[in-house]
Structure 1
Amino acid sequence: MEVLKNKKTLQDFIERQKEMGKKIGFAPTMGALHNGHLSLYKEAKKENDLVISSIFVNPTQFNNVVDLEKYPRDINRDILILENSGLVDAVYIPEVIDIYPEKTESIHYDFDGLENEMEGKSRPGHFDGVGTVVEELFKQVQPDNAYFGEKDFQQLAIIRKLVEKKKLPIKIKGVAIYRADSGLALSSRNKRLHEDRREDSKVIFESLKKVNEWFKTVTIPEIKERIREIFDHQRGMQLEYFMIAEEETLKETHTIYKDKNYRAFIVVIVDGVRLIDNIHLK
């Protein structure tokens, strides 16, 4: 596996691969890798000649400096995980100057309102940071296909909108949420939880599965009330928000239409750690 530590090294590598006609699959990460990330590379391996990862903790998508400082970093461990997986041909580990050669600041984007829903309401400018780093990485890596997990469904929708608006020749592939045996969605943040609390947090996915059952017969206001009641009885857990939204617009809905697709979204703070999850509603 090639380890590419700056933009020039990456450009030389990509140029050689393009000359050989290689189809490139790409999944950017912020490191702290786990099996959820590897599931992206498994999908990429099926559809491409070459699979590239990137590891870059993007400063412009953090609203809180403390969160940026606390974000887990262990490059050597991450490289070892990628090497041992046998799924990745190269990993790009840029410095800030490779992504932000002048100022470390975001471009402002219009994502047709997707950026103002859910996470965007409490994290102003967050998706400008996401869009800025992803667009720059796409320009440098020049992938044919790019892979993102459905756990961050809003981010996935925004990246699809970015590619559409910028007319980038890249196919965006969503990959199903990778879960622990308990059902908890895998996240780099889970490492900050004690093992017992990770087990307790399985209630998040269990409640989403109940929502999928209730969705057939129960009104949305009643579903929301039931979810509130569940988390009112969980020790050390705070329900930040729960909502049911249209998958296309991400706008919260209180009425169901047969020609729309819906998804339930939840954010729960467990011992100070913010956990997100979602489920497609049938």
Structure 2
Amino acid sequence: MKIISDIKEMQTLAIAARGEGKRISFVPTMGFLHEGHASLLHEGRKRGDLLVLSIFVNPTQFGVGEDFDKYPRDMERDTHIAAAAGVDVVFTPSPVGMYPAGYQTFVDVAELTLPLCGASRPGHFRGVTTVVCKLFNIVQPHIALFGKKDFQQLAVIRQMTVDLNMPVEVVGMPIIREQDGLAMSSRNKYLSSEERTSALCLSRSLQSVRAAYHSGERDAERLKQLVQNIILAEPSATIDYVELRADETLEKVATVDDRTLLALAVRVGATRLIDNCLLGEDD
């Protein structure tokens, strides 16, 4: 397994691999890997001849007062996980390499970035699409894998690749959960033991709404109220948003169906967690 930090070196390797007819699979991450990331790597290993993992905590997707400086990092642990998953190349660019002095170009997807996390974190998705666009140009993948826990991010990146005619297949992979239902996230590290228990209100509310849906409830407002009641019963939990949206357009719906997305953002203590499900699908 090679570890590359130089952008030109990574790009040269990718061009050479393509020239040899190799299919490049790519998993972009901010590191502090967990089993959710590992599931993407294992699938990428199956689908490509060269598997590239990037580890880059991207400063442009963090807003003022967010957790860029304290975002968890553990490169030694990450490289062990990468090696176990069969990664060929770990790409670890520096912030100054990705955004040198005088940098002034950004990629902005207009409508899909407005609701949900886009409303709560202005500028976040501009940072995401910019860095992913740059990484696609550097790594030159045939296929890129992303987790569905960041459902809006996945939708935005798919839109970008279509709009900009990028020859990359974007694959969404299922949410990986702890045994008790909590969606795996690097930010779970921030939770105290009491907050970790409180955080189960997210997955519990998803399960309750699915049960209500399968029992015949179709009114979005009543389902939304069900979620709010469960979450607000936890003293340490505050709601950023609870939304029922069309899965492709992310537009609000009054009546739900199998393809309706239930998306949550909840602060448990100081930690912001997201989760989601499609009402007609099981994890």
TM-score, normalised via structure 1 length: 0.93
- Corresponding residue number in structure 1 for 2:82: 82
Correspondence for 1:107: 106
5+ residue gaps, structure 2: none
Deviation at 1:137, TM superposition (A): 0.3
Q: What SS is found at the alignment partner of 1:276? A: strand
* Match of residue 253 from structure 2: 253
Q: How far apart, in 2, do the equivalents of 1:249 and 1:212 lie? A: 21
CA distance in 1, matches of 2:269, 2:80: 30
Please name the residue that 2:19 is paired with.
19
2: CA distance between counterparts of 1:19 and 1:273? 45
Match 1:272 to one of 254, 270, 273: 270
- SS where residue 147 of structure 1 aligns? strand
CA distance in 1: counterparts of 2:173 and 2:151, whole angstroms: 10
| Aligned counterparts, 1:204-215, within 5 A | 204-215=202-213
- Specify the SS of the correspondent of 1:71: coil
Between the two proteins, the alignment pairs up a number of residues equal to: 278
What is the CA RMSD across the aligned residues, in angstroms? 1.7
The answer to whether the Cα contact below 8 Å between 2:145 and 2:171 also exists between their aligned partners in 1 is yes
Partner of 1:120: 118
Deviations 1:82-113 (A, max 9, x none): 12x232111000012332234355615234x1
Which letter maps to 2:202? Answer: I
Q: CA deviation at 1:267?
A: 1.2
User: 5+ unaligned residues in a row in structure 1: which ranges?
Assistant: none
Matches of 1:120 and 1:184 in 2, distance apart? 23
C-alpha distance in 1 between matches for 2:227 and 2:105: 36
Alignment of 1:93-104 (within 5 A): 93-103=92-102
Residue 9 (str. 1) matches residue 3 (str. 2): no
State whether structure 2 residue 121 is matched by structure 1 residue 132. no
Q: Aligned-pair distance for 1:66?
A: 4.3
Q: Which moved more, 1:135-144 or 1:16-25?
A: 16-25
What's the TM-score once normalised by structure 2's chain length? 0.93
1:196, distance to aligned residue in structure 2 (A): 4.1
Structure-2 change in CA distance of 1:134 and 1:127 (3 Å): same
* One-letter amino acid matched to 1:195: S
Does the 8 Å CA contact 1:237/1:268 hold for their aligned counterparts?
Answer: yes
For 1:15, the aligned partner's letter is I
Residue 90 of structure 2 is aligned to residue 91 of structure 1: yes
Q: CA deviation at 1:141?
A: 0.3
* Offset at residue 203 of structure 1 (A): 2.4
Is the Cα–Cα contact under 8 Å of residues 263 and 280 in structure 1 kept in the other structure? yes
Residue 151 of structure 1: aligned partner: 149
Give the letter for the 1:123 counterpart. Answer: R
The equivalent residue for 1:189 is 187
- Cα distance in 1, alignment partners of residues 125 and 197 from structure 2: 31
| 1:60/1:104 contact within 8 Å kept | no
Residue 224 of structure 1: CA displacement?
1.6
* Contact 2:198–2:236 (Cα < 8 Å) also in 1: no
Q: 1:115 to 1:66 in 2, by over 3 A?
A: closer
- Aligned-pair distance for 1:13? 1.9
The one-letter code matched in structure 1 to 2:106 is I
2:159 is aligned to 161
More displaced stretch, 189-198 vs 23-32? 189-198
1:15 Cα deviation (Å)?
A: 2.9
TM-aligned CA deviation for residue 185 of structure 1: 0.4
Q: Is the 8 A contact 1:106 1:129 kept in 2?
A: no
* Matched-pair contact (CA < 8 Å) for 1:146–1:173: yes
| Conserved? CA contact 1:149–1:175, under 8 Å | yes
